[in-house]
Structure 1
Amino acid sequence: MEPIDFSLLALFARATFTVKLVMLLLMAASVWGWAIIIQKHIAFRAARRAAARFDKAFWSGEPLDGLFSEVGVNPKTAPERIFAAGMTEWHRSHRDSGAMIPGATARIDRSMDVAIARESERLNGGLPFLATVGSTAPFIGLFGTVWGIMNSFEEIAQQQNTSLAVVAPGISEALLATGLGLLAAIPAVIFYNKLSADSGKIVGGYEVFADEFATLLSRESDD
């Protein structure tokens, strides 16, 4: 009797079409999830560096109008976009006489809040997919396992043989689907929690800057 091949490729090749489809779906979800994880790590690192550079420039003592001119009409980083939103509304809130329009402070705050919300949406893009994979992949894998075991029992009934040589290959193929589900879900859950926390810290830094900036503008309007 020839030995049974229990390699991953052999298990996949022997699986039924439905179980193969489940495995391919889980492998695709895992690859996509890792792509999001890597991309987010790179993006968050760049966001932290940009925030540190802008914070240094903002508190360097340079006049705000000068810094606004350097940022330009098309700011490239998140802190610059938040700063530009506040400065744009600040300039719009001045009358021709130089006096401030009533309610200017509230409008400046709202404009920066909108900018922060947009940056938060950019930072969190892709994280819902990780959450979805983390919560559904084990169940998708379990579905593949149940389907595979059901087919194994059907094969046992057809052959009328309950020996381990008949049962083991089908059970192994079925359990592979559960293993792939866990392989996709565990990293997705771990990195979703980590990336969500990192995103919250970055957005929190934006909110602190917006509050400090609004305070400075408020002092300017009172002078």
Structure 2
Amino acid sequence: MANQVTATLHISDLVLQASPVVQAVMLLLFLASLYSWYLIARLYLGFRKAQQQDEHFQKIFWSGAELSTLYNNAQLNSKRHGLEDIFYQGFGEFLKLKKRHAPLVQTIEGTERILRVGLSRDQSYMESGLSALASIGSVAPYIGLFGTVWGIMNAFIGLAAVEQVTLATVAPGIAEALVATAIGLFAAIPAVLSFNHFTAKSEAVYSDRALFSEEMVALLQRQSFSTTQDAE
């Protein structure tokens, strides 16, 4: 008898014997889990690539290379991202304002504004997928709980037609209902942990890029001031 109950309570059997609503919930949660792992892999690769590209560009930038040369190289790179793209947008605005003979204060303010816009745009591109992870992490347990409640309700409705209730008759229905909650937690926990991890990484990358933008503005300001003094 014990072996029969054990065989009945195998997870694959519980999933196959569950009601259509509970099976639909399980399938939805399984697909959500697959999608969350896809987002986790994409975010991991994206952040790693962004950090490598930023470090590479900063080494070139602070090696003493001419800013005009860096700008021309960035212009030829149609797939530029991160600091290279932020630098390209900021320095391009600086050159435009300087060509119009705008005052130094107006030139610096315009450059800072474009740099902030570039920071926000690149940050939004890099963080795409975080909101979906947050949604999966917050909603999946409740979807699993709904499947569990529905399954337990069906189990008790089925027991109404049974004259003698034993553990063997109660356990399968409750067990198959609890599988939905387990799958919901399986989908939610990695999503929540990854969301927190990548949010912290995003803040760190943004801080580094914002610091670079401030240093770049200070460098342009010094160079413009020196050029003005030499002209006088």
TM-score band (shorter)?
over 0.9
Per-residue Cα deviation, 1:29-52 (whole angstroms, up to 9, x for no partner): 111001111111111111110011
**Matched residue, 1:158:** 161
3-state DSSP class of the match of 1:161? coil
Per-residue Cα deviation, 1:141-188 (whole angstroms, up to 9, x for no partner): 111000000000000002233111111110010000010011111111
**Matched residue, 1:140:** 143
C-alpha contact 2:81 2:122 (8 A) present in aligned 1 = no
C-alpha contact 2:159 2:165 (8 A) present in aligned 1 = yes
C-alpha contact 2:155 2:174 (8 A) present in aligned 1 = yes
Alignment equivalent of 2:83, drawn from 79, 92, 110: 79
Note the 1:1-223 alignment, pairs <5 A: 3=4, 4-73=7-76, 74=78, 76-95=80-99, 100=103, 103-223=106-226
Per-residue Cα deviation, 1:67-122 (whole angstroms, up to 9, x for no partner): 111112535221110000111101110246x5646511111011011111011101
Using the aligned pairs only, state the percent identity: 38
The amino acid of 1:133's aligned partner reads I
3-state DSSP class of the match of 1:176? helix
Distance in 2 between residues matched to 1:51 and 1:140, nearest whole Å: 40
Which has more helix, going by share of residues?
2
Distance in 2 between residues matched to 1:122 and 1:100, nearest whole Å: 33
Distance in 1 between residues matched to 2:33 and 2:194, nearest whole Å: 12
Q: TM-score, normalised by structure 1?
A: 0.94
- In structure 1, the gaps of 5 or more residues are none
3-state DSSP class of the match of 1:25? helix
Distance in 1 between residues matched to 2:207 and 2:126, nearest whole Å: 12
The amino acid of 1:155's aligned partner reads G
C-alpha contact 1:95 1:101 (8 A) present in aligned 2 = no
Runs of 4+ in 1 over 6 A off after TM superposition: none
Q: In angstroms, what is the RMSD of aligned CA positions? A: 1.6
Distance in 2 between residues matched to 1:64 and 1:95, nearest whole Å: 16
The amino acid of 1:217's aligned partner reads L
**Kindly tell me: are residues 75 and 140 of structure 1, through their superposed partners in 2, closer, same or farther at Cα, counting changes over 3 Å?**
closer
Distance in 1 between residues matched to 2:31 and 2:131, nearest whole Å: 16
The amino acid of 1:119's aligned partner reads D
Distance in 1 between residues matched to 2:92 and 2:80, nearest whole Å: 16
Distance in 1 between residues matched to 2:158 and 2:222, nearest whole Å: 80
Q: How many residues were matched structurally?
A: 222
- In structure 2, the gaps of 5 or more residues are 227-232
